[in-house]
Amino acid sequence: MSLACIVVELKLLASAGTVDAHRATCRQSLETKLICGALSRQYENHMFAIFFKSIHSFGLRTLRSVRCFAVRGIRSYARRWLHRSMGGRSFGMLGRRGYSLLFRLATAPGIVLHELAHRLTCLLAGVPVQSAVYFQLTGPPGYVQHATPSRWSTTAAIALAPLAGNIAVAAVLLEYSLAIYTGSGVDAVVTGGLLWWVAIAALTHSLPSSTDLGTVWAATTARWYRVPLAVVVGPLYALRRLAGRVGSYRLTVPLSLAVLGGMMALHDLSPAAFLGCVFGGQWGCWDGSPRLGAVLSKMLLDCLDQLRAMGVLVSVR
């Protein structure tokens, strides 16, 4: 073989090695690009996750701040409004006057019924009324200003009208809700609850005010021949004085709840059965036979029999 052929073969071998090396280099470069691309995509996904997490965290902090400012603003406005409603007097948090105002709002139907009883009695008795406010947030809960009656009986009837009127309304509502009204669904339960609310509010404000009973007591003791009537007015006047010492609502609210419990016991309705019906979305699923009328009739007949036995009443045959 000539020298020229050997040189040509060596060049071919060198070029072949270079091609293989080039191919290997290209392969490594491609693998590097793929790895770098995958890493780049992972980095981009990680950065997007961090970005969205930051936005989410910022949004939550913003919402908390807005909610906090809103609650503080509402609370501040409510406190300023209560402060103005109480005539500029300050009180810590809500205070006694603030809770009294909230209780007045919660038992508003009883206040309206109380003043309506005064107003209707004045109308029936022919007593002129100068002004009447059935409900207000400041000052007295309500009032009826009327002329001074000339007779003691009219004064007593106007003053004691809420005692009879509110108790009668509460008795009718409770008897209707326990013995007559039935229904199913949320509307029925809400309606039954509203009947109980108005009844309890009426019982809470059934006791005449200290001004009413003070007027009747003064008219009773003003004439010596009216002193025996103090047997009727005296206990109510003493109860009103007791309510003024211990707190009117601390006395009337437990009495109202006791009356409600007595009505439930009269209808043989246990708290468990009542709650079972209410949570089951039903009202009146218990024994709903009317019983209050029968009990009152029996009590009235027993009272008449005792009066006849004492010779106060004479039986007419």
* In a shared domain, residues 140 and 262: yes
- Total number of domains constituting the chain: 2
Instruction: Residue count of the chain, please give it.
Output: 317
In a domain, 232, yes or no: yes
pLDDT at 195 (0 to 100): 92
Q: Residue 110: name the closest of 211, 198, 193, 194 by CA.
A: 198
Neighbours of 231 (CB within 10 A): 9
* In a shared domain, residues 135 and 277: yes
* In a shared domain, residues 116 and 73: no
Non-local CB neighbours of 78 within 8 Å, separated by 6+ positions: none
pLDDT at 90 (0 to 100): 47
Do the Cβ atoms of 289 and 281 come closer than 8 Å? Answer: no
Do the Cβ atoms of 116 and 97 come closer than 8 Å? Answer: no
In a domain, 89, yes or no: no
* In a shared domain, residues 80 and 106: no
Give the Cα separation of 293 and 214 in Å (integer). Answer: 33
Give the Cα separation of 262 and 265 in Å (integer). Answer: 5
Structure tokens at 266: 């009269």
The boundaries of the domain holding residue 35 are: 21-84
Q: Is the dihedral of CA 204, 209, 212, 215 positive or negative?
A: positive
* In a shared domain, residues 33 and 175: no
* In a shared domain, residues 78 and 112: no
Q: What is the DSSP string of the chain?
A: --HHHHHHHHHHHHHHHHHHHHHHHHHHHHHHHHHHHHHHHHHHHHHHHHHHHHHHHHHHHHHHHHHHHHHHHHHHHHHHHHHHHTTT---SSSHHHHHHHHHHHHTHHHHHHHHHHHHHHHHHHT--EEEEES--SSSSS-EEEEPPPSSHHHHHHHHHHHHHHHHHHHHHHHHIIIII--EESHHHHHHHHHHHHHHHHHHHT-SPPHHHHHHHHHHHHTSGGGGGGHHHHHHHHHHHHHHHHH-HHHHHHHHHHHHHHHHHHHTT--HHHHHHHHHTTEES-S-----HHHHHHHHHHHHHHHHHHTTSS----
pLDDT at 256 (0 to 100): 86
Neighbours of 237 (CB within 10 A): 19
* In a shared domain, residues 80 and 107: no
pLDDT at 194 (0 to 100): 93
* In a shared domain, residues 54 and 193: no
Whole-prediction pTM value?
0.63
* In a shared domain, residues 30 and 68: yes
Per-residue confidence of the chain (317 residues) as pLDDT tens digits? 555 455 445 544 455 455 455 555 555 555 565 566 665 666 666 666 676 666 767 666 776 666 666 666 776 666 666 556 555 554 444 455 667 788 888 899 999 999 999 999 999 988 898 988 888 887 788 888 888 888 888 888 888 899 889 999 998 898 888 888 888 888 888 999 999 999 999 999 988 888 888 888 888 877 777 777 777 777 877 877 777 777 777 788 888 888 888 888 887 888 888 888 888 888 888 766 666 666 666 666 776 677 667 665 544 33
pLDDT at 316 (0 to 100): 39
* In a shared domain, residues 32 and 173: no
